[in-house]
Amino acid sequence: MSSTKPVAVALIGAGRIGASHAEIVARRLKNATLAAIADPAPGAAARLADQLECPLTYTDIDELLANPEIEAVIIASPARFHTNLAVAAARAGKAVFCEKPMALTLADAELAIAAAREAGVPLQVGFNRRWDRAFAEGKAAIEAGKVGTPQLLRSLTRDPGPFGADPARIPPWTVFFETLIHDFDTLLWLNAGARATEVYAVADALVRPDFKDKGLLDTAVVTIRFDNGAVAVAEANFSAMYGYDIRGEVFGSGGMVSMGDVRRSSMTLFDKDGVSNDTWRLDTDHFIDGYTAELHAFVASVRSGRNSGPDGADAKAALEIALACIASVTERRPVALAEIRG
């Protein structure tokens, strides 16, 4: 492949996050071109392609994967399809960027990892927080020893309210598989080299208690112990009325670093109503630079053949914690990660 020719990237899944990724590839990346969009829903791919001037659309994913001009795919389908799509794309020789979660079982995680390894293609997972400037600078401070030995860590995700999703359409355990999975990866990344050893989780339906008996969990708090002695807390809620709140913190023997801010900027308004800040309301706004950076890195890995972002092993490590949380909530007890790993 020519070092100057843009990488031909295809999108699988033309929903909200897929559309955001496609727009980044089409309009923000100089090292890539949006070559195709696929979605099985009639008209979905075509509508997005029209907006972004993308030349090819498919409703049959196999037809897209058979196109020899496509070098890489971004998988942004519903989570239950991620593993099969990642495996199929890797076996077709395409580099794979897969939105989280990469898999819902450890067996499926191993399938995706093995498929990418056997095909010799990069496999990157969409843990975008690693690419956010504040989190990246926090990570650099930890690596430089500025907080000493990590002792207490915290990561939280509070989605912007009011909660407007249809609770009946939210798959079971979404709060762990699709929301807190980001926090689990962030905590593992910030506590580099450590492995989770024990998890205790509590979860409830506090936003929509009328759907609790139907399996909805919209609020959770998780305590994680690591083999280096550190203890972490992760929390999530589906409806923060003040905005999209993503934060992290690492307290250590020599200091502390905090990352993330619900405020859009440091501008503060002082007027007759008091003191106020504008806040983030969408992940695609809050993390636009992070999403761009992670996709730029993915495209660069297609050229080099070396993955520079979070990979299948990282996805599996976060998934182990999610599965331990599910067991902990179900059985109302602390769960050792050894039970999950087998």
Question: What is the per-residue pLDDT across 224-274, written as a single tens digit (0 to 9) for each?
Answer: 999 999 999 999 999 999 999 999 999 999 999 999 999 999 899 998 999
pLDDT score of 2: 46
Q: Please write the tens of the pLDDT for every residue from 182-217.
A: 999 999 999 999 999 999 999 999 999 999 999 999
pLDDT score of 4: 74
Per-position b or e across 155-172, b if 16+ CB within 10 A of its CB: bbbbbbbeeeeebeebee
Structure pTM?
0.96
Angstrom distance (rounded) from CA 173 to CA 297: 30
Is residue 296 a contact partner of residue 72, using CB atoms and an 8 Å limit? no
Closest CA to 295 of 84, 48, 10: 10
Is residue 185 a contact partner of residue 318, using CB atoms and an 8 Å limit? yes
User: How many C-beta atoms lie closer than 10 Å to residue 198's C-beta?
Assistant: 18
User: How many C-beta atoms lie closer than 10 Å to residue 81's C-beta?
Assistant: 14
List every span in the chain annotated with CATH 3.40.50.720: 7-129+290-312
According to CATH, what is the number of the domain 133-286+318-341? 3.30.360.10
**In which residue ranges of the chain is pLDDT below 70?**
1-3
List every span in the chain annotated with CATH 3.30.360.10: 133-286+318-341
Query: CATH classification of 7-129+290-312, choosing from 2.60.40.10, 3.40.50.720, 3.90.1150.10, 3.10.310.10?
Result: 3.40.50.720
The two tokens of residue 160 are 């912007």
